[in-house]
């Protein structure tokens, strides 16, 4: 164990010496000739301005993009002059993942291409393609069209692939390597969770700080189309309702409800229908843009769930979990150093999903679009076999 730590710190030392400047800036910053700092603090975490930018269809209301479309003489053709592209490239050295007491070189840990922008004054698009995620060619995850300000109001429509949890806390924008575990859990043979799915999202914002969101999704994740070219595995759809309310400039509270059904079968049972009902509450507290506290609680009940391939009958299964995240940026968006602490807790009748971790993450911005990170997580899911895991690496975008 001590030898492993020594090797890890030797790698850290030479890794920091080897890092060079990252000169490029991501697609949206290139488009408007602005710093990443305008929207991010630090990358990829969004500031309020960045959230407004994304919610406006990736356009700045107070700044026009110069020569964005080609002049073709066709008034109803919006042809982007230069397709906006960006790359995210992350790499990590890790020690003791899965309690295996070994050093692992995970580079690239993530490599993906992103693109997004305006198609017209109301239509926008966004997608990214994973060239590599932990060594696997994943393909397209986020991919959607967005119509902004329908009927001249703050009513937006999204159609495509997105995460059900996006209106809560966006997993893809977190600073830590450790994930928001409660969004990922799928009890038994269920394919339904708060992660990626296909469907519609409708959002409406009121001037007094209330946001309403409604989603309709397939409820089976990003499954491949079958021989009939159908992505959904059954006739059912999953419905999600969400409300969020700002309270002054420091607080925000919210709630979410998910309801759906899914057909499932295994080797010993015929096809049965499982009903899923889930609800959750969340809160964000800001203190002068120095501290940000994010809290999430979710509870889920499956009423006819096949737990394994050998389960003869469906079962009632309850799952609950929470996430608490504290972000510290001492000099607000000018901070080069920052820190994150993250607690994950999941408890389920399907005990394979039980999960308890505490994470401390430290980061330094070598460049505005390249940060060095050091992270340690203590996994105490099983009190008799608790263990620590450690990572050092970089997160870059260009």
Domain boundaries, the chain: 149-322+342-352
Residues in the chain: 398
Which pair of structure tokens corresponds to residue 185?
């859990």
pLDDT at 5: 45
pLDDT at 67: 61
Report the half-sphere exposure of 350 (CA within 13 A, side-chain side): 25
d(CA 268, CA 309): 7
3-state secondary structure of 352: helix
Per-residue HEC secondary structure of 19-70 comes to CCCCCCCCHHHHHHCCCHHHCECCCCCECHHHHHHHHCCCCCCCCCCCCCEC
pLDDT at 267: 87
Return phi, psi of residue 75, to 5°.
Answer: -70, -20
pLDDT at 64: 57
Q: What is the pLDDT of residues 219-261, one digit of tens each?
A: 999 999 999 999 999 999 999 999 999 999 999 999 999 999 9
Average pLDDT across each block of 10 residues of the chain; the chain has 398 residues. List them in order: 46 40 50 71 74 72 66 83 89 91 93 91 93 90 95 95 97 96 98 98 97 98 93 97 96 98 92 98 96 99 96 96 98 94 99 98 95 98 95 95
CA 308, chain centre distance (Å): 28
**Residues in CB range of 293: below 8 A, 6 or more apart:** 283, 284, 285, 324, 325, 326, 327
Which pair of structure tokens corresponds to residue 19?
């890092």
pLDDT at 6: 46
d(CA 275, CA 262): 7
pLDDT at 63: 61
pLDDT at 80: 82
- Choices 1.20.1250, 1.10.3470, 3.30.70, 2.40.160: CATH for 149-322+342-352: 2.40.160
Which residues, listed in sequence order, are joined to residue 320 by a DSSP beta bridge?
299, 347
pLDDT at 117: 87
């Amino acid at each position: 164990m001590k030898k492993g730590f020594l090797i890890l710190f030797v790698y850290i030392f030479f890794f920091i010496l080897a890092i060079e400047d990252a000169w490029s800036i991501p697609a949206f910053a290139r488009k408007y000739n602005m710093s990443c700092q305008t929207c991010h603090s630090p990358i990829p975490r969004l500031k309020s301005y960045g959230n407004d930018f994304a919610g406006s269809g990736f356009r700045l209301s107070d700044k026009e993009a110069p020569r964005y479309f080609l002049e073709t003489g066709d008034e109803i053709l919006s042809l982007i002059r230069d397709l906006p592209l960006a790359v995210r490239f992350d790499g990590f050295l890790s020690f003791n993942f899965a309690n295996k007491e070994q050093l692992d070189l995970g580079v690239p840990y993530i490599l993906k291409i992103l693109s997004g922008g305006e198609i017209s004054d109301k239509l926008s698009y966004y997608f990214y393609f994973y060239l590599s995620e932990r060594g696997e060619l994943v393909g397209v995850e986020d991919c959607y069209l967005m119509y902004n300000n329908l009927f001249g109001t703050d009513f937006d429509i999204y159609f495509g692939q997105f995460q059900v949890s996006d209106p809560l806390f966006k997993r893809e924008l977190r600073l830590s390597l450790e994930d928001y575990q409660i969004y990922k859990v799928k009890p038994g043979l269920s394919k339904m969770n708060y992660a990626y799915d296909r469907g519609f999202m409708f959002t409406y914002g009121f001037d007094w700080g209330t946001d309403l969101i409604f989603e309709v999704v397939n409820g089976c994740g990003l499954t491949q189309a079958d021989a009939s070219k159908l992505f959904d595995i059954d006739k059912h759809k999953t419905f999600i309702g969400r409300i969020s309310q700002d309270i002054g400039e420091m607080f925000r509270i919210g709630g979410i409800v998910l309801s759906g059904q899914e057909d499932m079968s295994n080797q010993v049972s015929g096809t049965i229908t499982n009903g899923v009902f889930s609800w959750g509450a969340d809160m964000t507290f800001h203190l002068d843009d120095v501290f940000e506290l994010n809290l999430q609680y979710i509870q889920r009940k499956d009423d006819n769930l096949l737990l394994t391939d050998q389960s003869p009958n469906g079962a009632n299964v309850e799952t609950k979990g929470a996430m608490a995240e504290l972000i510290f940026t001492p000099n607000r968006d000018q901070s080069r150093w920052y820190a994150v602490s993250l607690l994950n807790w999941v408890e389920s009748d399907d005990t394979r999903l039980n999960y308890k971790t505490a994470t401390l993450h430290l980061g330094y911005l070598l460049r505005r679009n390249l940060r060095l990170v050091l992270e340690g997580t203590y996994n105490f899911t099983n009190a008799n076999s608790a263990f620590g895991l450690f990572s050092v690496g970089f997160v870059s975008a260009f």
